[in-house]
Amino acid sequence: MAGGTQGVSFKKGITLRKTYFKEVEMFVFFIALIVLLAGCRGTDYPPELVSYGQSADTLQVGESAVFWAVAVDPDGDQVTYSWSASQGYFVDPEEDTVIWQSPENPAVNNVNIQVIITDATGLSFIKNFEIVLTSGPVQQDTTGNQPPGIVDYGQSLSKALLGEKVSFWIHAEDPEDDRIFYFWTSSSGIFSCIVDSAVNWWPNDVGNTVSVGVIAYDSNGAMTSHVFQLNVNNGAWKNGSQIPVDLSSPGTVVLDGKIYVFGGNSHGQTLNTTYIYDPTTDTWTRGADMPTARAGPAAAAYNGGIYVFGGKVVETNEFLNVNEVYDPASNTWETKTPMPTARQRHVALTVGDRIYVIGGFDGNQFYAINEVYDPEADKWETKTSMFTPRDRLAGIVYDGYIYCIGGGQSGFSTVDANERYDPKTDTWEKLSPMPIGRRGIGYGVIGDLIVVFSGKLSSGDYTNRIDAYSISQDKWISSFPGKPTPCESPASATINDTIYLIGGWDYYTPTLNINEIFYRE
């Protein structure tokens, strides 16, 4: 450990008092004396350094070190910090305490570190440090207090979307069994906490590489550090193999890594088709046709079977309450007890051993109803309705909760509602609404983000807009590239944090056979 008075001031006023003073009061007295002397001066003075240091004088190539320089201004001005190095880089170069990452291939072994401390009037103080890089492990000084040793660390993602939650963790042990503390810092983003061994972090800026650093230090001031790195991006698009038929408003579900697309509207014709997409081979196959042709059904998987509920016959404008189950293993269909309420453009979502069929439209009424199907007993019951009646909504299951987002009502009216249902308590909760209401949105889940795509606005226009809802923060993020083809009512499916948007309806075609795929870049 090298340095002068070793008091490290971090963000949010957290002070790590690694000091040679035996009494904290002496440090406080020293700062107070500087401020008192400032009152006797008639001119402005630059900041004065009261604490500085570094975690190591010698470091193995590729490792990181901690530097700190704490100053006060005699005139009471606010001070700022600007760190620079002849090699390597800093995690956050504008703090009083920083983590410096050494280069993998240094030009020279001696590295010069400098911090410029400036007050509000522009007066500054410069402090220089030096550290020596070695190719082999650095022998620890066994005569004094030893720093903690890192025995485990990790991160949940190496790539993250803007606003997506990332978890970091580290475990350190101290040779002298001293108590260990932690401090986290990053060049951007928001932490759930900065003093725990495990933290969540949300990126708020897109960059090729973002660094997240942690310091582990013991009760006697010895410290070690680690730097994590990840890529933060706002997603990318690619095209998959097109579905063999133009369609919109099909029923869609994922089962065993494949996407099943049932029925839909194809240029005014009601479909009874079953198409199966395998992302691993980028190929489509045909399954057995549904017994009942329909557009706007909802599909949900349970125990190896796929249940397809309701829909509409486009040619006759007949709304259906039919309930048919498809067995992929035998490629056969079976008719089950129909829904209590005939409707189309609703959602069906499986939680536990129940399927929740929510919302929809029957030609006269927009529904908020929540009808629940028990596949084992082949029976229906009614649960608490959501707050907002609507059709063409997004329905997502995440961590045992159901999220119902957006949708439409009469005419071109759109809904921005975001409502969460808890099946355990049969209660609904209103969450942060979409930035812009729209109906017929595509949707999927990446990490803890519910991503909604395109859809139709209240103006009647189609939009390529993308918004992402952070479940862990209850907030929306909107800085994403637009959907290549604006449309409404595509088939929507998520597999392994990749979202597939298939078909849809737009101004010109009007039904589409596209397969647009959104993923972390």
Residue 36 clears pLDDT 60, i.e. is over it: no
d(CA 352, CA 337): 20
What's the confidence (pLDDT) of residue 411?
85
Fold match between 2-134 and 149-232? yes
Higher pLDDT, 509 or 368: 368
Q: What is the dihedral of CA 310, 243, 402, 437, to 10 degrees?
A: -90
Regarding predicted confidence, which is higher, 135 or 383? Answer: 383
* Local confidence band at 206 (pLDDT 50, 70, 90 cut-offs): confident
Question: pLDDT at residue 4 above 50?
Answer: no
Give the residue-averaged pLDDT of 39-53: 78
Please tell me the least confidently modeled range out of 74-78, 420-424, 449-453, 488-492.
74-78
Query: Bridge partners of 252?
Result: 261
149-232 placed in CATH 2.40.340.10: no
> What is the arithmetic mean of pLDDT over 82-93?
92
157 Cβ neighbours under 8 A, 6+ residues apart: 164, 166, 230, 447
**CATH tag, 2-134:** 2.60.40.10
pLDDT digits (tens, 9 = 90+) for 267-312: 999 999 999 999 999 999 999 999 999 999 999 999 999 999 999 9
Residue range 251-272: average pLDDT?
98
CA angle 61, 65, 71 (to 5 degrees): 145
What six digits make up the tokens of 296? 């706007």
In the prediction, which pLDDT does 143 show?
58
Q: What percent of the chain has pLDDT over 70?
A: 91
346-363: per-residue pLDDT in tens?
999 999 999 999 999 999
The residue-averaged pLDDT of 111-127 equals 96
SS3 call for 30 = helix
Tell me how far apart the alpha carbons of residues 82 and 92 are, in angstroms, rounded to a whole number: 9
- Diameter of the chain by CA atoms? 93
How many residues in total does the chain contain? 521
CATH 1.10.3720.10 fits 236-519, yes or no: no
CA distance 114 to 450: 44
* Domain map (residue ranges) of the chain: 2-134, 149-232, 236-519
Whole-number pLDDT of residue 27: 46
Instruction: Indicate the average pLDDT of the chain.
Output: 90
Handedness of CA 283, 287, 293, 299 (dihedral sign): negative
Average of per-residue pLDDT across 139-164? 87
pLDDT of residue 88: 93
